[in-house]
Structure 1
């Protein structure tokens, strides 16, 4: 099996031991699969065929078991290859999503298994995706408002039964721009809304206001779902100096056993995720409620492995291998049928 990881450049990996993409690559190489790495900016068209300028990991006689050692010892070469020649394209590019990248992937989506699917990424690449899960009573999704209209947003803050709300940009990621606001500081809120709305292209951007969930100050839960089923979870705890629990913002991690409410949440959203081709997803949960769905480059595998002494990446690569076998079996069936029909 040959896998193309569509991600950030190989040379840009700063902390190999904490990098989920590298952990997945390492597992593929260990199993003898061919691996290439391509950044979205290196997609190209040659003679009307989508190609990639990619970094190919050379075969290794002995693959180091330690990921940091693997990254240090792996040798690579550069080549331009047709994207449709790969068996799997694994999306690991950092958000925000580049719509043009999806246009390139459209040309090969019928020939290659893409995780996550092009359609799914188009629909779920921002924080509006949670609205697709019908939840009129806000049982699994916190009360959420999205708008560019400052007067409306101010009104929603004033009408909120809580003194606190979460404010964040629609296109943020990694916890960037997420702040806690309080009604007692309305003067600051007005200026914050001006800043968030007016910093977008053309001077107008969408802002998200979300219900503050009690207990949020203690952190959130990151759950990884594979084919709609949870395969790992961890609690992310904010530092003393930051309310955000993202590890990239200084948070720490701890073991977490899924609650009954979290299991119910996963059962409710899992089928929809699979239907949309969103096979490998990270969700952020607070108090049993879905806060975000991460579909482009969900992380957390390395931290889950450390706190649980497990190997979550094995389940992920098992899954893409099974999908590859399914596609091969379907191709053989069609070829056999075509040969029998033509023979008749």
Structure 2
């Protein structure tokens, strides 16, 4: 197979933990041809979507880990699979990229995750579709509603809808200290919609990342445990990742959501679960492959490439 990865610059990869690198390495190990390009390399001309794509060879070194052949302007439909792995922020440039990929699909390109499904699943708001698994939640830009929510629940979390890596997350306790300032900052004086959730004390046990691959859960999650004095478990915010088997509740959530999300074209999803509650549905570029594999021996990348091979075959 010829597999093209739409990713951030390869020079930015930290290969000891990068999930996209793990995917590439597994694909190459199986003898597939691995290609890479960035979103800025795509173009639509005369109704055709192409990109400057480079075939890459993995060297096995830790520093100079790849060699890239000269790029060629290539139709995305020429590949057996196109893997969307561009990191957020999910801004309008990201959205434009999904439009181009969707047009490429009409030419026969097989894109994972499905571009329209990525657009339809805001990683914060998507939990509203599965409210039976969520803590009390409010989405609004209205200060009065936010103040009423905090007064009702006492200890709450407020966060932007377009953040990543734990950026912009605030906890406000029952005393309401700095609530007005936080609301003004996050909503930009009432002009931006944000999310408020009742605080979940089980965050001290970790913000669990549960991976779904073609609707099936990886049997281990990565519990991202906050450092002292933090409410954010994100690895980017200094959390410590501890792999552990899925709990009964984890499996209940994963098995309820998995088939539905897969049917929508989401081959890879990262569910975030704190305690018994679903907090996010990550669809852009879910991570934690290597941490789970290193700590448990379960080959997450192998499960993913199995799914890509099966899906590309089904669609082809």
Calculate the TM-score normalised by the size of structure 1.
0.85
Pairs within 5 Å for 1:156-305:
156-160=149-153, 163-186=154-177, 188-198=178-188, 204-231=191-218, 232-305=220-293
Query: SS of the residue aligned with 2:120?
Result: helix
Structure 1 residue ranges, 4+ long, deviating more than 6 angstroms after superposition: none
**Which one has a bigger Cα radius of gyration?**
1
- Provide the C-alpha distance between the structure 1 equivalents of 2:157 and 2:204, rounded to a whole number of angstroms: 11
Structure 1: give runs of 5+ residues left out of the alignment. 329-344
Q: 1:215 to 1:134 in 2, by over 3 A?
A: closer
Shift of 1:325: 2.2
TM-score (norm 2): 0.93
When the two structures are aligned, how many residues end up with a matched partner? Answer: 311
The match for 1:132 among 118, 125, 129 is 129
2:18 aligns with 19
Aligned to 1:333: none
Q: Name the SS for the 1:74 alignment partner.
A: strand
CA contact (8 A) 1:57 1:77 kept: no
Match of 2:4 in 1: 4
- Given that 1:236 and 1:245 are in contact with CA atoms closer than 8 Å, whether structure 2 keeps it comes out as yes
- Kindly state the Cα deviation for residue 183 of structure 1 after the two structures are TM-superposed: 2.5
RMSD of equivalent CA atoms? 1.8
Q: Spell out, residue by residue over 1:23-69, the C-alpha distance to the aligned partner (whole angstroms, 9 max, x if none).
A: 111111222212221211221123331111223214x7xx63x7x36
2:40 corresponds to: 41
Aligned mate of 2:144, from 147, 151, 173? 151
Greater shift after overlay, 284-293 or 75-84?
75-84
Contact 1:119 1:276 in 2 (8 A): no
1:91-106 matches, within 5 Å, as 91-97=84-90, 98-106=94-102
- Alpha-carbon distance in structure 1 between the residues aligned to 2:47 and 2:255: 43
CA shift at 1:310, angstroms? 2.8
CA distance in 2, matches of 1:77, 1:123: 35
- Secondary structure in 1 matching 2:286: coil
1:297-335: per-residue Cα shift (whole Å, max 9, x none)? 00000100111123210010011111222233xxxxxxx
